[in-house]
Amino acid sequence: MRKLITILLVIIGQVSFGQVYQIMPQYGYSAPRFNTDSTLQLPTFNGVPTLKSNKTNKGAIAIDSTNGRFYFYNPKTSAWSQVTGGGGSTDTTSLSNRINLKLNISDTSNMLSTYLRKTDTATLSNRINLKLNIADTSTMLTSYLRKVDTTNKFVSNVTKLNDSTFTIFKGSTQTNITLTPSTTVASATRLVTNVYNNSGFTITKGSVIYINGAHSSNLPTIALAKANTEETSAYTYGLVETDITNNSAGVVIQNGTITNLNLPTSTYTDGQTLYLSPTVAGGYTLTKPLAPYHYVAIGTVTRAHPTFGTIQISIRNGFQLDELSDVQIATVPIDSTILQFSRVDSLWHDVNPTTAMGNRFVKRTDSAAMLLPYLKKIDTASLSSRIDLKLSKVDTSTLSTRIDTKLAITDTSVFQRKNLASYTFIANNTTATANGTAQTFKDSGLKVYNGTITFTPVAPSGATNNTYRWSQIGKLVTVRINLLYATASGSTLTTLVASLPSDCPAPEIPTGHSGASTTICPAFGYLFTSVTASPTTAAATIGFLRSNSGNNGYEVVLIRSAGSVAAALITLTYFAQ
């Protein structure tokens, strides 16, 4: 029974506390898993919650206990959404990205139109102009200025004074501000100057110019340089970088490179120096101008090319004599003046020649008495007379002609005349000092004698060795004839007649000696038996030179007492014709 009672109590307990599931007819009747005590306990999920029932027209909240998130259910959208905010550590999206989610730089105006006031149709600039217009005057802006601002405190204008200076205008005051580079320029390839062209015409690129004044813009004015006058050449400044039209500013290169010029290779060569032209205004030339033109070197051709021609500009103005610091002369010196240095002021001066010579040098106007100290005491002839002794002023032949008579232009040596005529020497055969004239000088050398020989009454015989030689110095002729025979003649030989060699100079015939077989002059000779033995008295002969029997030649005759002869030695001296 006890057991039965226990079972009944259990069954009763289960039935008493059991609940039957039924649809909740309205809010607040049923709250499974919902509890409230000291806290509000909500249903938990793992991840995004889901509705248990199919009722979707009511809102709900739930907790994702796994991820620590709080969700709410929107019945209008039928979707669960995470409740965010509060700066939780899970908010890692960058501000810019989150802004882009709302408003992106790529948004078009159409996209943004929903965020604008429908009545706001003006542009941003227009709307700014409503506040501050570029046309507003200072007066209009006065109300916006701080009350402490006073006159000349605000910049009203800024102008460029030059390449490094600005002029700042504050009301009625102006201040020049020069910009100083923080670092020193170590090098530069060009030196240029801003200039103003008011010449009345365009000055073209590459023209050589000089500065001739200034313009109201504070720029120097320029004009074409030309080397024909001091005014247009002395201040040559540079070359125009690009065309400068009239009444316009431009750039002139004083030093450095100018490119893209017409310097054809047919005219120019790399390395050539250019000079300011004396004939073409603004032009340059390869020919160095000489006086009266003015020397101005422009620069050097560094590339000769018809379109890419390049000049390395380096203006070098020449000086006039009166521009030198140690020369003090008149602007226009008088004619025939010379330069003379003075140690008084260490300057060169223009002086006339007479003043320059002073008493230090002999002058044309000096009298003979003044010249006496310079003359040798024994000199009595005037200088001109003594000069005339050497070269007279009355000489009419040209100096060169007269020199040629002494020393021909064809002479190859001053001290030795190499071109003497053949068989001549130079001698003076006059009664006075005179120039030498050509005289005959000839030596025949040793030759074989082949002349006609006649012995009387008998001849030597055997092998012969007959030679001769002659020399002529001036008119004097000396002849030697040697006739040698192997075998002496018989003892009766008395006479030898030998013809004068045909190449001997013709003898001069003394007056009264005309006709055949006429004796002209003596001859000396021996007729003897052997040249190895001394001649005896008997060998001596009577000898002479005579015209032959036909009177068409000359012969030498030796006569001795009868004897034996194997050798004949003849020496003959005569004057040539």
Partner 1 sequence: MKHIRQRNSSTIPGETYAMVLTYNWDKPLEEHPSILEHPEMFEIVDCEIPDYCVYVNYESYDN
Q: Is 567 in the site for partner 1 (CB under 8 A)?
A: no
Tokens of 467: 């030679």
Contact 420, 438 (CB under 8 A): yes
490 binds partner 1 (CB under 8 A): yes
> Minimum distance between the CB of residue 494 and partner 1, rounded to whole angstroms?
8
Per-residue binding letters, 467-486, with partner 1 (x by CB under 8 A): ------------------xx
Place of tokens 């959404």: 81
Q: How near is the Cβ of 454 to partner 1 at its closest, in Å?
A: 4
Nearer to partner 1, 356 or 459 (CB): 459
Q: Binding to partner 1 by residue 530, rule CB under 8 A?
A: no
- φ and ψ at residue 403, rounded to 5 degrees: -65, -40
By CB under 8 A, the residues from 13 to 52 that bind partner 1 are none
478/495 with CB nearer partner 1: 495
Residue 513 CB, nearest distance to partner 1 (Å)?
24
Kindly state the helix (H) or strand (E) to which residue 5 belongs, with its residue range.
Answer: helix 2-17
Binding of partner 1 by 464 (CB under 8 A): yes
* Residue 256 contacts partner 1 per CB under 8 A: no
User: By the 8 A CB rule, do 554 and 457 touch?
Assistant: no
Which stretch in 64-72, 216-224, 422-430, 450-458 sits in contact with partner 1 by CB under 8 A?
A: 450-458
Question: Measured from the CB atom, is 295 or 528 closer to partner 1?
Answer: 528
Residue 197 or 529: the one with the smaller Cβ distance to partner 1 is: 529
- 439 vs 495, which CB is nearer to partner 1? 495
Q: Which is nearer to partner 1, 165 or 461 (CB)?
A: 461
The amino acid occupying position 286 is L
Minimum separation from the CB atom of position 528 to partner 1 (A): 17
Give the shortest CB-464-to-partner 1 separation in angstroms: 6
Judged by CB under 8 A, the stretch of 55-63, 187-195, 278-286, 446-454 that binds partner 1 is 446-454
Q: Which stretch binds partner 1 (CB under 8 A): 160-168, 383-391, 393-401, 454-462?
A: 454-462
Q: Residues 238, 460, 505, 507: which binds partner 1 (CB under 8 A)?
A: 460
Nearer to partner 1, 164 or 454 (CB): 454
Is 565 a binder of partner 1 (CB under 8 A)? no
Residue 456 binds partner 1 (CB under 8 A)? yes
**Binders of partner 1 in range 424-443 (CB under 8 A):** none
The beta strands (E) that lie in 241-398 are given as: 248-263, 273-276, 284-285, 296-303, 305-317, 327-328, 338-342, 347-351
Who contacts 268 (Cβ-Cβ below 8 Å, separation ≥6)? 286, 301, 304, 309
Cβ burial 340-373 (10 Å sphere, 16+ → b, else e): beeeeeeebbbbeeeeebeeeeeeeeeeeeeeee
| Range 208-227, binding partner 1 (CB under 8 A) | none
Backbone angles phi, psi at 160, to 5 degrees: -95, 115
Of 171 and 490, the one with the shorter C-beta distance to partner 1 is: 490
Q: Among 179, 188, 378, 463, which residue interacts with partner 1 (rule: CB under 8 A)?
A: 463
Q: How many binding residues for partner 1 (CB under 8 A)?
A: 20
Cis peptide before 457 (omega within 30 of 0): yes
Cα gap 113→121, rounded to integer Å: 10
Strands (E), 106-235: 157-162, 165-170, 173-178, 191-197, 208-214, 220-224
Strand pairing class (519-528; 542-547): antiparallel
Asked if 391 contacts 404 with a C-beta cutoff of 8 angstroms, the reply is no
CA distance 270 to 107: 64
Applying CB under 8 A, does 302 fall inside the site for partner 1? no
Pair of tokens at residue 143: 């109300």
Left if phi > 0, otherwise alpha if psi is -120 to 50, otherwise beta: which for 282?
left
Between 247 and 456, name the residue whose CB sits nearer to partner 1: 456
- Nearer Cβ to partner 1 (355/487): 487
Q: Bin 246: left if φ > 0, else alpha if -120 < ψ < 50, else beta.
A: beta
In DSSP terms, which residues pair with 242 in a beta bridge? none
88 or 462, CB closer to partner 1? 462
Q: Which is nearer to partner 1, 129 or 494 (CB)?
A: 494
Total residue count of the chain as it appears in this document: 577
CA 397, CA 513: separation in Å to the nearest integer? 46
Task: Determine which residue in the list 100, 129, 199, 495 makes contact with partner 1, applying CB under 8 A.
Answer: 495
Helices within 33-134 (DSSP H only) = 95-102, 109-112, 124-129
**Least distance to partner 1, CB of residue 482, Å:** 15
User: Does 157 engage in binding with partner 1 (CB under 8 A)?
Assistant: no
Q: Output the smallest distance, CB 491 to partner 1, in A.
A: 12
Torsion-angle region of residue 206: left (phi > 0), alpha (psi -120 to 50) or beta?
A: left
Q: Does 453 sit near partner 1 (CB under 8 A)?
A: yes
Considering only the stretches 16-24, 214-222, 396-404, 487-495, report the one whose residues sit in contact with partner 1 under the rule CB under 8 A: 487-495
Q: Chain centroid to CA 196: how far?
A: 33
Token digits of residue 270: 């790399």
Q: Which is nearer to partner 1, 436 or 457 (CB)?
A: 457
Which residue of 6, 35, 82, 450 would you call a contact of partner 1, by CB under 8 A? 450
Which of 429, 461, 517, 530 lies at the binding interface for partner 1 (CB under 8 A)? 461
Distance of CA 102 to the CA centre of its chain: 74
Closer to partner 1 by Cβ: residue 314 or 465: 465
Cβ count near 246 (within 10 Å) = 11
Residue 548 touching partner 1 (CB under 8 A): no
> Shortest approach of partner 1 to residue 460 CB, angstroms?
6
Cα distance between the two ends of the chain: 214
Q: Which residues bind partner 1 (CB under 8 A)?
A: 450, 452-464, 485-487, 490, 495, 497
